[in-house]
Amino acid sequence: MTSRPYVTTTANINIEQYLAEYAATKFKQHHDGGIVIPCSSDLYHCVWEHMAIKKANQREQHGNLLIHLPSRRSSSEYAGKNPVYYNYLSDAAATDIEKCLRLMFNFELHRMLLENEEFGHASKNIDLIIDFRHAYSLKSISEDALLKNYYRYRNRIKSKKTRHYKKKNSV
């Protein structure tokens, strides 16, 4: 009887460190350190779309985020992408996954800070950012960088326009 070669249903990708830390805290971690993405997440579908069969000339990926690949197979043995075979994520896939994670990260951060602003600044923005960093165990990005990110976003969505005064001549 021949022995089966080592089969993996995980993929390793290299993304920005703070996004890897965010994903590792946000999603359930497997005992081997990889994340398990729930099927209700946009990230799940992003990963699913990019799963491919590894060709012989493609190099092994090493990165800072280990992802347990989704298995959306129905009861039929041959339906869907089997993660045993479709276990490769290319560099382009890593870029798209990074974009999806950044979108989720920014949405959560900006929503929290906009709600604070909407309710009359119950807390200081820097205090909220410190709490956010602590909640997601973010060590590779500073509070100032996150605050600057939010202020840029806020200026994009509601830019302050200077009011032009016209001098009235008295008659």
Sheet of 65-68, strand order: 10-13, 65-68, 35-36, 28-29
Determine the pLDDT at residue 1: 44
Q: Structure pTM?
A: 0.84
Determine the pLDDT at residue 7: 57
Determine the pLDDT at residue 60: 79
Does 1 reside within a domain? no
Provide the residue range defining the domain that includes 67: 10-157
Determine the pLDDT at residue 2: 45
Does 88 reside within a domain? yes
Is the confidence at residue 28, as pLDDT, over 50? yes
Q: How many domains does the chain have?
A: 1
Asked whether 58 and 88 are in contact (CB, 8 A), the reply is yes
Does 167 reside within a domain? no
Does 164 reside within a domain? no
Does 150 reside within a domain? yes
Does 166 reside within a domain? no
Does 136 reside within a domain? yes
